[in-house]
Structure 1
Amino acid sequence: MGDAPAERLAFEVWGDPIEHSLSPRIHRAAYARLGWDWSYGRRRVDGGSFTAELGDLDDRARGLSLTFPLKTAAFAAATTRDRTAELTGAVNTLVRSDGALHGYNTDVGGLVADIGAHGFAHLDSARIVGAGATATSALVALGDLGAERVEVVARRPAAAAGLVDLGERLGIAVTVAAPGAVASASVPLTVSTLPGGAALPDRDAAILAERGGLLYDVVYGGWPSPLALAWQASGASAVNGLGMLVQQAVRQIRAFATGDADTPLPDEDAVVDVMRSALMGD
């Protein structure tokens, strides 16, 4: 798609609920730092209205960020999809260009970058807590970081069948356990994909904390999460997903600008710094 367009373009984040989204704050900070005359808003869109809203976009609207519950619908709407979207069946970024809708899953790259920033540029094994859509992105990210063995902890183990199948495609040996029956082996990293406020029984959480290494919790609202509190009580370290939020947004902006989510922005380190500052309200 070439270099970032100079004209004033419009972008939005869609989802339901959407009022809590921090995306406008960090996107606008990045656009200002880059000197791009772009706008970025938010719109409440549910699954039932997604197709109609998409069809009503005007010519100035060039890209969308998608959050719950629209990632599967966005996947279906995309004309083309990147590797991570194809693997996960989820699209969190749509770019309109040349009469087509290009779909990306930047959550995976965001996880890879932020987990790497916490000292895990490579790992052999890990654990995922939860078996929903975010767990799928987490598994692909762990594979990109080199993981060969991943244990999935799910309250309903049958819900993790898709992760086992995906693991086979990625060359990862995925095992599944109930919260109170994790394997005895310890792992250096646990990625929690539980929704905000979701909690495990105290005993189960304590067992996970004792054998789970660093807890990387994708939750960033209502921090610390119940699972993070269990980690802290055991003396282990836990971090939230704010860094991932920034890193996936950086990759969205790359895609908005040039159609390539992997090529860095101009002076990207400085852009990331202003996005982080905006996130913290500085």
Structure 2
Amino acid sequence: MNRLHDKVAVITGAGSGIGRAAAELMSKEGARVVVADHDTRAAEETAALITAAGGQALPLTVDVMEEDSIADMISATVKEYGALHVLCNHVGGTNPRTDLDVLRMDMDEFDRAVALNMRSTLLGSRHAIPHMIRAGGGSIINTASVAALVGDVLQTSYGAVKAAVVSITKSVATQYGPQNIRCNAIAPGAVVTPALENNLPQEVVDSLKRGNALPYLGSPEDIGHTMVFLASDESRYLTGQLLVVDGGMTAQSSAAPGRRAMLPA
């Protein structure tokens, strides 16, 4: 359980859901973890879970839409632990009530989605890279989405900015690979998180499950384990890539669920 021994990892959005799962899993693998979230209490709760299990964690409050806040997060990390090896740019999201189709979408929500998802990813990397270079290299892990890969009737802004996250990932990997910095993105499919449970009606959740090749939706730990892999030296030759972790949602034809009934018993 030492795949991340001596590594320092910063995870934004670590107060709940996938971010919390990733923080706990990285700690179990030996990392010293900075638990960053806009919700101070949630960050402290995650850090308490980690320390209670014998790990090291530093809770920090961060607003990823403010560059100064991101810079302070990175500076506090290096001041506390002396280095930075892993950055998970995980914070993101959109408002499904206002991020609608092209004709009806709220352009203020589009601007917010750009800042929350795309700009925060760029700025997190911008402030982390110099410290990673000093540490001899590092791994940046960006959270994209299957929304970057397929069209949808809603969430136009979200799909666009997550596609931009993939592009930023490839640029960072190309530009800083010679300094031994790897950058990869994860595209989660439907994952049972508080955000999913609070924003989607049950009939939509059921339709997402039917759209998977696997007979279940993902858990935060499913994505967290992928983050651990990308943070570890096991993925040392993997960079500039998008790992789609979606239960087969984007692998199968939209007709596949209905056609299953045609299979012989």
Fold conserved (TM > 0.5)? no
Which interval holds the TM-score relative to the shorter structure? Answer: 0.3 to 0.5
In proportion to residue count, which structure has more helix? Answer: 2
Kindly indicate which of the two structures has a greater share of residues assigned to strand: 1
The two structures have a TM-score, normalised by structure 2, of 0.41
